[in-house]
A and B are shown apart, each in its own frame.
Chain A
Amino acid sequence: MTGDIAILGYGLSAIGPGVGIGLIFAAYVAGVARQPETRGVLQTIAILGFVLCEQLAIFGIALAFVFSGQ
């Protein structure tokens, strides 16, 4: 079996953001279920949290391509 271990690093770096994004949207869903009128405010906050969390996985994929084939 052949491959690049850098891509494995990307897989590892995606675990944290995966869990984090799940928690963020779980909180968003719970918040909207409790108070549907706050949807607009919560949506902006949830997307903001989502992108701040996601950037770790994005670093992972960028670095995976930087370090692959070395």
Chain B
Amino acid sequence: MTTTVLAAEEFVPPSAPDFWQPLVGDGAFAITRPMVLMVLSVVVLAVVMMAVTRRLAVVPGRGQYRAEGVYGLVRNSVARDVIGQEHFKPYLPLLFTLFTLILLNNLFGIIPVLQYPTMSRIGFPLALALAVYVVYLVAGVRRRGATGFVKSLVPPGLPWWVVPVVFILEMVTFLITRPVTLTLRLFGNMFAGHILLLLFALGGEFLLLHGDGIIKIVSIPAFLMFFLFTAFEILIAFLQAYVFILLASVYIAEVYSDAH
């Protein structure tokens, strides 16, 4: 048996390059699969939201009822509880858009045929995190002014020699850690979840087609795990969309808290 045949028989685990899927063109200006999915998600959301809110009624129909359920989750249990009664209104459109967009794009990871979580390419969560970043910085500067905002980073009542250290730490948290973690959390969860699905699917296929004799049976638990983790991904999709707007509103809420 030659080495080339041996290489074909070996199992190739899924890795990061599997997520690079250009549809048109190649290189930096290629139109890739996540780009198409992102456009699709925007179109779907726009059509659905306009359809369910065209004729708003006091007694809601089925579509309006469901849309109000999602809106109520964002408005009541995230924005109002975290940001506070007086200040949450201007941020509702942003939070609701982020929630629906991230949720739909995450669910694309398990919808058959689409089956690609858009957020597993780091550019997409990065753009969303930067939007939140700009919003909470601008909100902070608007509320306190540039110098007041910088001063508010350090909690009052510290001994003078701690102030520079705390200031640097808070500055790094505000300007670097928050956007980076916001991006990496969404990206990492969707990427790791999808690579796990790929592993079970490819592993099961390899065992079934290339395993000999009794080994073929082992592919059954691999496929079972694939189904199990597909169901688990629905939970993760909801949780990550929820967590993204929860953290966004926590960052915005800090602008309005006077204790810090």
**Which of chain A's residues have a CB closer than 8 A to the CB of B181?**
55, 58
State the main secondary structure of chain A at its contact with B.
Answer: helix
Please determine whether B243 and A62 come into contact, CB atoms closer than 8 angstroms.
no
Most buried by B among A48, A51, A59: A51
| A67, B15: Cα distance in complex, Å | 12
Please determine whether B250 and A55 come into contact, CB atoms closer than 8 angstroms.
no
Smallest CB–CB gap between A10 and chain B, Å?
9
**Which of chain B's residues have a CB closer than 8 A to the CB of A54?**
185
Please determine whether A47 and B246 come into contact, CB atoms closer than 8 angstroms.
yes
Please determine whether A47 and B188 come into contact, CB atoms closer than 8 angstroms.
no
**Which of chain A's residues have a CB closer than 8 A to the CB of B64?**
none
**Interface size on B (CB < 8 Å)?**
19
Please determine whether B187 and A62 come into contact, CB atoms closer than 8 angstroms.
yes
Given A40-B77, A44-B82, A68-B15, check contact A58 B243 (CB 8 Å). Answer: no
**Which of chain A's residues have a CB closer than 8 A to the CB of B192?**
58, 61
A34-52 Cβ-contact flags toward B at 8 Å (1 or 0)? 0000001000100110010
**Which of chain A's residues have a CB closer than 8 A to the CB of B15?**
65, 68
Please determine whether B188 and A48 come into contact, CB atoms closer than 8 angstroms.
no
**Which of chain B's residues have a CB closer than 8 A to the CB of A68?**
15
Please determine whether A44 and B188 come into contact, CB atoms closer than 8 angstroms.
no
Please determine whether B250 and A48 come into contact, CB atoms closer than 8 angstroms.
yes
Nearest CB in chain A to that of B181: its residue: A55
Query: Does B16 count as interface, using CB distance less than 8 angstroms?
Result: yes
Please determine whether A58 and B184 come into contact, CB atoms closer than 8 angstroms.
yes
Query: Does B189 count as interface, using CB distance less than 8 angstroms?
Result: yes
Nearest CB in chain A to that of B240: its residue: A51
**Which of chain A's residues have a CB closer than 8 A to the CB of B184?**
55, 58-59, 62
**Which of chain B's residues have a CB closer than 8 A to the CB of A47?**
239, 242-243, 246
Nearest CB in chain B to that of A59: its residue: B184
Please determine whether B185 and A55 come into contact, CB atoms closer than 8 angstroms.
yes
B236-249 Cβ-contact flags toward A at 8 Å (1 or 0)? 00010011001100
Residues of A within 8 A of B (CB): 40, 44, 47-48, 51, 54-55, 58-59, 61-62, 65, 68
Residues of B within 8 A of A (CB): 15-16, 77, 81-82, 181, 184-185, 187-189, 191-192, 239, 242-243, 246-247, 250
- Pairs across A and B, CB under 8 Å, 8 listed: A44-B82, A47-B242, A55-B185, A58-B184, A58-B189, A58-B192, A61-B188, A61-B192
Given contacts A44-B82, A47-B239, 7 further A-B contacts (CB under 8 A): A44-B77, A47-B243, A47-B246, A48-B246, A51-B247, A61-B192, A65-B15
The 7 closest A-B pairs by CB, nearest first: A58-B188, A51-B243, A55-B181, A65-B16, A61-B192, A58-B184, A58-B185
